[in-house]
Amino acid sequence: MFRTFSSESIALLLFLTMTSNIAQGADKVGIGDFSSGSLRDWETQSFKGQTQYRLVEQNGMKVLKADSIASASGLFRKQRIDLTKTPFLNWRWRIENRLGKLNEQSKPGDDYAARVYVVIESGLAFWRKKALNYVWASTSPKGRIWPNAFAGEHVMMLALRSSSDDVATWYDEKRNILDDLRKQFGEDIRFIDAVAIMTDTDNAGGRATAYYGDIFFSAN
């Protein structure tokens, strides 16, 4: 028995087929959809006190605001990302003030107005796993890379922005995580397990305000 379809049904079928193909071939993976007013799937981890994170509107767009007063807590989202498919991490950020002259390679100076990082091998000791931090440094020059003062070479720090960059100004970032992990850890790491953000001022007892825009992975 044959069924006949109306032109509207055929059009709908074609549309669903096209959108299905687009979804299967997606070259973008959303991590932080702050502009839609969502913090879905983001969790909190506190090290000392609580940095206050909240969605606010700025210039007609919703972004994530972080206020830290001698505190260190972060937000993280667990999501396994295949870096062979979407190796580029994209985000926007800005800071409202600098933290002053800190020795960021030491434990007393391990504070950052803003940082975005990727974590590998999530598990029970999630925050002790291997990680690569992109930080807005206070004194370290842009491009400098060093082991974290507390975690050693399991956590590498990369000064993506520093005192030469303007405050109260948005900057767009794009990093090839696959390449960066290979350079810093000397191995091909196909998957990351989470993305985290943190504004922390606990070690030197300072104060910082930062903003984070949408975060996503892309194929190019």
Identify the pLDDT of residue 26.
72
The whole-angstrom separation of Cα 90 and Cα 173 is 6
The whole-angstrom separation of Cα 176 and Cα 156 is 15
For residue 9, give the DSSP letter.
H
Identify the pLDDT of residue 7.
40
Identify the pLDDT of residue 144.
97
- Cβ atoms 211, 65 nearer than 8 A: yes
Which of 169, 176, 213, 177 has the alpha carbon at shortest distance from 31? 213
In Å, what is the CA distance from 82 to each residue of 8, 36, 40, 86, 115?
A: 38, 25, 21, 6, 22
Task: Tell me the one-letter amino acid at 37.
Answer: G
Identify the pLDDT of residue 125.
53
pLDDT digits (tens, 9 = 90+) for 124-169: 455 558 999 999 999 999 999 999 999 999 999 999 999 999 999 9
User: Would you list the domain boundaries of the chain?
Assistant: 28-218
β-partners of residue 95 are 210
pLDDT by residue for the chain (220 residues), tens only, comes to 434 434 443 333 333 333 333 333 479 999 999 999 999 999 999 999 999 999 999 989 999 999 999 999 999 999 999 999 999 999 999 999 999 899 999 999 999 999 999 999 755 455 558 999 999 999 999 999 999 999 999 999 999 999 999 999 999 999 999 999 999 999 999 999 999 999 999 999 999 999 999 999 999 9
Domain 28-218 falls in which CATH fold?
Jelly Rolls (2.60.120)
Identify the pLDDT of residue 124.
47
Identify the pLDDT of residue 12.
35
| DSSP-derived secondary structure for 69-82 | ES-EEEEEEEEEEE
- Cβ atoms 195, 79 nearer than 8 A: yes
Give the other-Cβ count within 10 Å of 173's Cβ: 15
